[in-house]
Amino acid sequence: MAEARLGVAFQFQVTEEGIIVNYDRNALKFVGRAVMKSAKRRVKGAKKAILKRSFPATPATWILLVAALSAARYSENETTLGVLGKVERGLPWGHNLDPKTVIAVAVLVCATLLWMVIGHIQQFTLRKLLSYRAFLYEPRGKLSLKTKIWLAFVKVLGGKNPTLYSYEKSLPFLPVPDLDATTKRYLESVRPILSEERFKKMEKLAEEFKNGLGKKLQRYLVWKSWWSTNYISDWWQQFVYLRSREPLMINSNYYGFDPKQCPSRIQSARAANVIHSLFLYRKQIRKEKLQPQFSMGIIPLCSEQFRKTFNTTRIPLKEQDHLHHHGSSTHVVIYHRGRFFYLQAFHRGLLLKPADLEKQILHILQDESKPVSGEELLPALTTAERNLWADTRSTYFSAGVNKQSLDCIEQAAFFLNLEDLELDYREEECEDTDSFGRYLLHGNGHSCWFDKSFSAYIFKNGRFGMTAEHSWADAPIMSHLGEYIALDEFFLLGYKEDGHCKGEPEFNLRPPSRLQWDIPEKCVGIIETCQEKAEDLIKDLDLHILVHNAFGKGAIKKMKLSPDGFIQMGLQLAYFKDQEHFSLTYESSMTRLFREGRTETVRPCTMDSCAFVRAMLNPSSTKSEKKELMLKAVETHVTGFKKAMSGEGVDRHLFGLYVVSKYLEQDSPFLIEALKEPWKLSTSQTATQQLTKTNYDKMPGLRTAGGGFGPVADDGYGVSYIISGEEVIYFHVTCKVSSQRTDCKRFSERIKESLKEMKALFDD
């Protein structure tokens, strides 16, 4: 409320005795502090922009250049080839300045320009170095001499003390794969799932495509890659997410659990610490102090997705939604018992301490006011089909108090629900754990604002969880946030012995205010209809969380196998047992080795995986044959995963070609057939231990059950898994209740059984 304080900082009256000026000293201090803070922020912003533009060239390099040019200027020999002299003579108003000042300015100008040139050369060199991908295909711990030399150059040229976005200009652009290679890999991936007749048809279509229209589409895609930082990411966000008209709930969003150990069972205390920690995390992002992530500890990953973690909302519009990122916000919107509250997290420009936040949250929990008509179910609008929500928003929420309150939600740093339910989970399979996962994915249809970049839940027993909108970033970004919050809670903020926040409240603040609504009866009817449809979607979701603690990553590593490859082959075996046929399988892989990289698809169902599955189910196959086929299948999968990471995937390339064909209004039978095949088994591994301080073996209380997502196909499964330490793997399995062919608990049993059989191949 800075503008209100500014308004009363000065007061003056005109009297017979003259003008009397009154001023509030505290208000003036507040305004002065705000001005200074703004000025510092601008200076720091300019400094960061300059340093980032020239990174990996460092300020130390600039100082060295200044010293070298100064020495050269005052030396007897003309070592600058007259350049400094020309700059001195060309300086405007130089004749009015002292000669020493002119020399100093010329040295600074030349040193700065040279420093920036060196920075750009280093960026270009580093970008070329980071285009090297052979290291991905080498055995771990057995790097070739060429790769070791390459790593040494990357380390030397990589710069020191990088900020979050330092490597933006040094990362290579995602390459457009070769058209022949993509069509070949596509045909190899569908060979095991297509009939002989269909496969021959696809072979013919692929041949016609790559020798005809495909060449033209490929040319346009390559041209796009020349002028865009990433040839596919913008289209992926636009067409896959923002143009989708389906409800976000279950179809698009995903969820995440908090750590196994709940640090406090007091709802208000847990909420206060979580809010405080989230704003600290936002500060780390905004000031770019968050440590960038690296592969192998040296190779930088793109950090672009972190930008929209906070203050971001997906705005429903006709045909295509808009992802709105509000520059800065200092408040959170809290939903409790059907009411919306505005919680200001800052006071006098400073983030409130947890004790003050807990006191504010207690005001909300103790508030006995009732929701107005339509308010309690209002979030159900965000679960609706997007065009319906867009129409409703423009009709009933574009003016007056409704617009003001909606703006408050959409501009909030994030959305938080103080839930009246008590939900929990344990390191074992049980209905409680399943219920926790279900509620985080869909709630009761009106328990969170699905348009927000993420919404947090704090349950009555202190449990914490999140659900995230998918268009702005992928799951590793949210799991990174979750790890940060957990470390903060356990090691920085902590709790008193009685479970309340540490410290005592410092300020006597006004309680959080209610958001005001004036919702017409007709709009209330629309909201109630949205709630009914949301409940129908919820009833059709089946979710089970398998806690696989018979063995984990430790045992798999002893087999000298990739844990991900082992698990994926287990899923293939389990799926065939469950469905008695093979299906197109999706596994997400990141492409953050490239600038603005997001995901690529790995296709785990291969000819080798199918041969392995058939051998496992063939009584006449020997143990050694099964083992050999499994090793080959895992190796093939790992190679496919590495190709996806290195920009040689199939699906994003085909998708890009399809978008170009639509722009040119030239349909391709091959692309239409290739992209319409459903993903009956959609899988993803949750990233874990992304922060260097996170160590599940030393801190088992920080282990998390990960998170999950809804099924992609109506008659398919969605499977998210997390390797939580050395001994436990969590599988989040989802499917549709309405499908007669799928069942989550049955499939989970198949997974458990398959992994056990695979491990037995290595038992002596």
Q: Catalytic positions, please?
A: 470
Q: How distant, in Å, are the alpha carbons of 175, 278, 443, 516 from that of 473?
A: 21, 17, 21, 31
Contact yes or no for 163/289 (Cβ under 8 A): yes
- The whole-angstrom separation of Cα 26 and Cα 591 is 52
Q: Are strands 331-336 and 415-418 parallel, antiparallel or unpaired?
A: parallel
Buried b (16+ CB within 10 A) or exposed e, 227-244: ebbbbbbebbbeeebbeb
Comparing CA positions, the residue from 334, 328, 233 lying closest to residue 283 is 328
Tokens of 154: 């990357």
Give residues with Cβ within 8 angstroms of 509, minimum separation 6.
344, 347, 352, 356, 359, 360
Residue 260 is encoded by which pair of tokens?
């196994």
The string of DSSP codes covering 484-531 is HHHHHIIIII-B-TTSSBSS-----PPPPEEPP----HHHHHHHHHHH
Tokens representing 312? 């971001």
Sign of the torsion formed by the C-alpha atoms of 23, 24, 27 and 29:
positive
Nearest to 161 by CA among 61, 17, 14, 261: 61
Q: Which amino acid type is present at position 524?
A: V
Kindly give, in sequence order, each residue whose CB lies less than 8 Å from that of residue 510, ignoring residues fewer than 6 positions away: none
- Maximum distance among all Cα pairs of the chain, rounded to whole angstroms: 111
> For the purposes of burial, counting CB atoms within 10 Å of the CB of 764, is it exposed (0-12), middle (13-18) or buried (19 or more)?
exposed
Helix (H/G/I), strand (E/B), else coil: 685:
strand
Bridging pattern class, strands 585-590 and 681-685: parallel
Indicate left, alpha or beta for 169 from its phi (over 0: left) and psi (-120 to 50: alpha).
alpha
Distance CA 550, CA 749 (A): 13
Contact between 284 and 273 (Cβ < 8 Å)? no
